[in-house]
Chain A
């Protein structure tokens, strides 16, 4: 695994990769259909819409109808990708996701963009720090939270290739592209080995975790970094093994510390191998307007915060 030189790395948004993936999928498979709720230029489904207008449905600003219609398309054999902002897709249409898609175990791919606080200037109304928590409790859903654009593309292909409900969490901001990595649904990636602490991260916090590990190594702390791109089903074995090896765990996510990756990891560890744990994430507060980077810093979602948490759990061992 090559480590990113984050500062210099090429930056791309995961939503851009989503648009590209849809275009390729649309060429390969005529059963792929795409739905949006008046945000196609932001979610990047517009790329698909342009190439395959007859297989694109813009339902207007009606998110419940978006997910319900996608469920109907899936029930009739299509492979619908439905997109809007995470807050509206997971939030406004949660009950449609639960009662139509999840309960029916239908082949709907909810690919939601603008997840997390890096939505930025739009502020708290649009910053979705709750979606992992509320989607994780719906049976039958697979939940993927890619770390960078190449991973997002692979996740979208994987979702198209596996029957059943998916929630794919995508971001607005351009984020560093880390090297090509093998992507297997449900399999955590160990990006860096270490022996003192395991940092388990998802989404854009994976890159921050790698930087934290680099900084920690200079202070004599050996940190393992695990990318948990598939939040459900979570790779229990990888989580437990990393905890056994290092004896201390930090989770990092651009999401509330309640119910997201931190919650999922805490559940696995407390039932299998409890070790000191600290969750880095949004601390049960709403966000605000600002630039993405400013917000990450203000709300404690940086490599520095992860490194501090790591030192803290190492001390508690």
Chain B
């Protein structure tokens, strides 16, 4: 489904609001991961535009499945789930607080979360497991997993990549948030990842590179993935870590450091003026 200009504008607005919400959630918790949350906002907003879900019935059998494999970006997931109505937006303030359903990393006690994550490298295997179940049941629902690029250092990601290709899991889409920065620094300096699209292709995947902040490209690629049969699809989404907050962009320093106080105010003003694309 081609996306018209009106829809794109709407999505950009939602992205801007989600960025602000997420930064405020993290600041409220005084802990969390702004960098890798800001880089995947458009991806997540686009996905939640597309996923077939029933917020009133989170366990609806025919729902699409989403796995936040880079579990430290949980605030974005929670913001999207709340936006859909899985739980009140008011609850977003409880992120990382004692007794909250919104844990530091995703738990299955949160409505809309099917599998727990937070330890990197696990998500694609679990997505494959769900996809195998879907194939057995001849179901129409699809499975999406969001991975970090640093996460792709994990061997299990490639075990799972081989599994998905071997079983022709064309109901799986792995989206890699290719922001070029991991916890300790740039991915190409820590341990070179190189061309991830080529790596996935060599494992037997269909791979598409997109600008991960461009809704038109993301939505188009998700359409293409759904139409592609016989292979799983990897979307390598080229993004900027800390996107939208000038002093955090491209910096490992804001990977796991909340933006608070004056910095938060500055960030929120910048985001207000952010046009996207």
- Flag the segment in B24-32, B37-45, B126-134, B240-248 that touches A: B126-134
Cβ-defined contact, B159 with A75, below 8 A: no
**List of A residues within 8 angstroms of B114 by Cβ:** 75-76
Which of A59, A78, A99 contacts B116, CB < 8 Å? A99
Cβ distance A231 to chain B, nearest Cβ, rounded Å: 24
Query: Per-residue 0/1 for A49-78: is the Cβ within 8 Å of any B Cβ (1 yes, 0 no)?
Result: 000001101011010110111111111111
- A245 within 8 Å of B by Cβ? no
Q: Which of A3-11, A100-108, A258-266, A295-303 contacts B (4 or more CB under 8 A)?
A: A100-108
Q: With A64-B155, A104-B115 in contact, do A96 and B129 touch (Cβ < 8 Å)?
A: no
Instruction: Determine whether B276 belongs to the interface, using a CB cutoff of 8 Å to chain A.
Output: no
Q: Judge whether A78 and B115 touch: CB under 8 Å.
A: no
- Report chain B residues within 8 Å CB of A99: 116-119, 122
Nearest opposing residue in chain A for B135, CB measure? A54
Is A95 interfacial (CB-CB < 8 Å)?
yes
The answer for the CA separation of A72 and B143 in the assembled complex, in Å, is 11
Task: Give Cα distance in the complex from A80 to B124, angstroms.
Answer: 17
Q: Tally B residues with Cβ within 8 Å of A.
A: 32
Write the nearest CB–CB distance from B78 to chain A, whole angstroms. 17
| Residue B156 CB within 8 A of the other chain | yes
A33 within 8 A of B: yes
Interface secondary structure of A, over-half rule: helix
Contacting residues, chain B, for A68 (C-beta < 8 A): 122, 124-126, 128-129, 156, 160
When the two chains form the complex, which single residue of A57, A59, A78, A100 contacts B126, counting CB atoms closer than 8 Å? A100
Q: How distant is A57 from chain B, measured CB to nearest CB, in Å?
A: 6
Q: Which residues of chain B come closer than 8 Å to A59, judged between CB atoms? A: 159, 163
Question: Do A103 and B107 touch (CB < 8 A)?
Answer: yes
Task: Assess the B65–A69 pair: CB atoms within 8 A.
Answer: no
Docked-complex contact A62 and B116, CB < 8 angstroms: no
Min CB distance A51 to B, Å, is 15
The listed residue (A62, A64, A75, A96) touching B130 by CB distance below 8 A is: A75
With A54-B136, A65-B156 as known contacts, state yes or no: A74 contacts B125, CB within 8 Å: no
**What are the interface flags for A148-181 relative to B under an 8 Å C-beta threshold, 1 for contact and 0 otherwise?**
0000000000000000000000000000000000
Chain A interface residue number, banded: 20 to 34
Q: A65's closest neighbor in chain B, by CB?
A: B159
Q: A56 to chain B: closest CB distance in Å? A: 11
B116, A100: Cβ atoms under 8 Å?
yes
CB distance from A34 to the nearest CB of B (A): 12
The CA of A106 and the CA of B107, in the complex, are separated in Å by 12
**Closest A residue to B115 using CB positions:** A75
A65 in contact with B160 (CB, 8 Å): yes
Is residue B162 contacting chain A, with contact meaning CB distance below 8 A? Answer: yes
Query: With the chains together, A100 CA to B156 CA distance in Å?
Result: 13
Q: How far apart sit A69 and B161, CA to CA, in the bound complex (Å)?
A: 12
Contact status A62-B163, CB under 8 Å? yes
- A57, A76, A103, most chain B CB atoms within 10 A: A76
- Residues of B whose CB lies within 8 Å of any CB of A are 61, 65, 107-108, 114-119, 121-122, 124-134, 136, 155-156, 159-160, 162-163, 166-167
- Interface pairs A-B: 5 shortest CB-CB: A72-B129, A68-B125, A76-B133, A65-B159, A62-B159
